[in-house]
Amino acid sequence: MGADKTSTSRVNPLRDLKRITQTDQEVVWHPYTQMTEYAAQDPLIFQRGQGSYLYDVRKRRFLDAYGSMWCNVWGHCHPELVAAIQGQAARLCHSSLFSATHDQAIDFAYKLVEYIKLDYRFAHDPVTLNHVFFSDNGSTAVEAAMKMALQYQNQVGQIKRQQFLVFEGSYHGDTVGAMSAGSIDVFKRKFNSVMFTVHRAPYPMQVDPDERPDNWRTAERSMEAQIAGLSDRLAAVIIEPVIQGASGMVPLAEDYLARVKKYCAEYGILVIHDEVFTGFCRTGPLIAASPELVEPDILCLGKGITGGTLPLAVTVATDRVFDAFKGEWSEMKQLMHGHTYSGNPIACAAASKNLDMIEEHKLAGIVKQRSRELSILLRQHVQKHPAVGPIRQRGLAVGIPIKNAKGQDGYEARDDAIKVVNACIEKRVLLRPLGNVITICPPLNIEHEGLEEIVHALADSLKALG
């Protein structure tokens, strides 16, 4: 089809702001967004990103304090990542991993497996997370993990093991399987008819990194009793190590993860770690569970995997899991899962470069330092406000609960948090609430000045509450 001048001008609405705004409202359906409310406001229309900042069509500069939905590692358009993406795009944009391969998948998978081992180098037993299964978003990484677990149990002859145990407050994604494993009611309510039943154990929150909550023993006993009671029916337990993101930044009690693993190992139940949010240094280390030396049977990674540039996710399995899928074609033991763009080469090239940079720039150390700085700033300027509950933080993942005037909390009690967030956006700092919790998840290489900018905007905006 030739380029026809009149039709080009008709379908190219990027002429004036009013037109762009109107076109956006007409044709773009935004996720988790009440479109009526959205249409009543002037939208933020971004055009360009550099470092920790996004620039909109009005040439205004905003600090991306929520890391473009928690996935940004190196700020926007980091030249090394851009060069890796451009270089790969010029060589090979896409070819499939179905019974074939490409150099970028091999390169990234090899490095990832090595880096995971390095992270777990003090583990008691050799770590065998050696098998990288590619998909293209966090939900499908979890979905693949769940299918992997079910198919594994079937193929090792444990055909009664068909159920999952998850945790209160869990979030594992928005596809139907991952949603079934989730525990946030408002996300699921309208879809109950197609969801399968899962079992739920407590996820004891520990606000202070140095002080275990009183209820953790009770929680542990309840979790142990459930695992024991369901021991012949559970295929796997799925848990978010260190901190739950979507439930409003809920840090997990120390040692709990090790106990989950211990009880599962006793009964031959697989452990799935969903590190889609925590992985890639969000809490400090590459793999958040590695300092606790707890190795899962299956590990899900996403979000920061490409540094926040392109969609990619992986489900990494141990030798034991992988080996149960070997056999003759006719036995049909091959993993029954795959996506058209699984392991896209451009995304893999970005992910490889991200890993190189994490090592070269010692990102884990940077996050540790920035995380300390942010914690001090929050204590000085935000925590003391009477509407602010105990601030929860692990690495550069922060949740600030805003006490609702009506004493409500959770997803539906967001009015005050929204007020504060909107005031921050007016000060050119992009934040997002999760219900009544304001979350901060900046690019991991943010400068100290960026952290100051966030905290001062927040402290100022709390005045919106009166």
Ligand X SMILES: *Cc1c(COP(=O)(O)O)cnc(C)c1O
Active site residues: 32, 171, 274, 303
Least separation in angstroms between CB 40 and ligand X: 27
- Quick one: tokens of 365? 């150390």
Q: Which is nearer to ligand X, 285 or 461 (CB)?
A: 285
Burial 48-86 (b: 16+ CB within 10 A, else e): ebebbbbebbeeeebbbbbbbebbbbbbbebebbeebbe
Least separation in angstroms between CB 137 and ligand X: 4
Q: Which is nearer to ligand X, 171 or 203 (CB)?
A: 171
Q: Which is nearer to ligand X, 142 or 289 (CB)?
A: 142
Least separation in angstroms between CB 206 and ligand X: 18
- Residue identified by tokens 């010692």 is 362
Q: Which is nearer to ligand X, 104 or 278 (CB)?
A: 278
Q: Measuring CA to CA, which residue among 158, 186, 162, 164 is closest to residue 174?
A: 186
Angle at 35 between CA 29 and CA 37, to 5 degrees: 155
Least separation in angstroms between CB 269 and ligand X: 20
Least separation in angstroms between CB 170 and ligand X: 8
Q: Which residue is nearest to ligand X (CB)?
A: 138
**Burial, 36: exposed, middle or buried (Cβ in 10 Å; 0-12, 13-18, 19+)?**
exposed
Q: Which is nearer to ligand X, 108 or 167 (CB)?
A: 167
Range list of H helices, 335-444: 345-360, 363-381, 415-426
Q: Which is nearer to ligand X, 382 or 441 (CB)?
A: 441
C-beta of residue 141 within 8 angstroms of C-beta of residue 315 = yes
* Strands of the 298-301 sheet, one edge to the other: 129-135, 313-318, 298-301, 270-274, 234-239, 163-167, 199-201
Least separation in angstroms between CB 246 and ligand X: 6
Q: Which is nearer to ligand X, 172 or 403 (CB)?
A: 172
C-beta of residue 154 within 8 angstroms of C-beta of residue 335 = no
Q: Which is nearer to ligand X, 172 or 414 (CB)?
A: 172
Least separation in angstroms between CB 313 and ligand X: 6
Burial 215-249 (b: 16+ CB within 10 A, else e): ebeebbeebbebbeebeebbbbbbbbbbbbbbbbb
Q: Which residues bind ligand X (CB under 6 A)?
A: 137-139, 142, 171-173, 240, 245-246, 274, 276-277, 302-303
Helices 345-360, 103-119: crossing angle, 10 deg rounding: 30
Kindly tell me the sign of the dihedral angle through the C-alpha atoms of 354, 100, 153, 189: positive
Q: Which is nearer to ligand X, 274 or 297 (CB)?
A: 274
Q: CA 199: distance to chain centroid?
A: 22
- Return the H-helix or E-strand segment holding 64: strand 61-64
Least separation in angstroms between CB 133 and ligand X: 15
Burial 339-353 (b: 16+ CB within 10 A, else e): bebbbbbbbbbbbbb
Q: Measuring CA to CA, which residue among 87, 106, 89, 175 is closest to residue 343?
A: 106
User: How far is residue 362's CA from residue 158's CA, in Å, rounded to a whole number?
Assistant: 43
Least separation in angstroms between CB 276 and ligand X: 4
* Inter-CA distances, 219 with 222, 257, 267, 421, Å: 5, 12, 19, 34
Cβ neighbours of residue 343 closer than 8 Å, sequence gap 6 or more: 97, 102, 104, 105, 134, 312
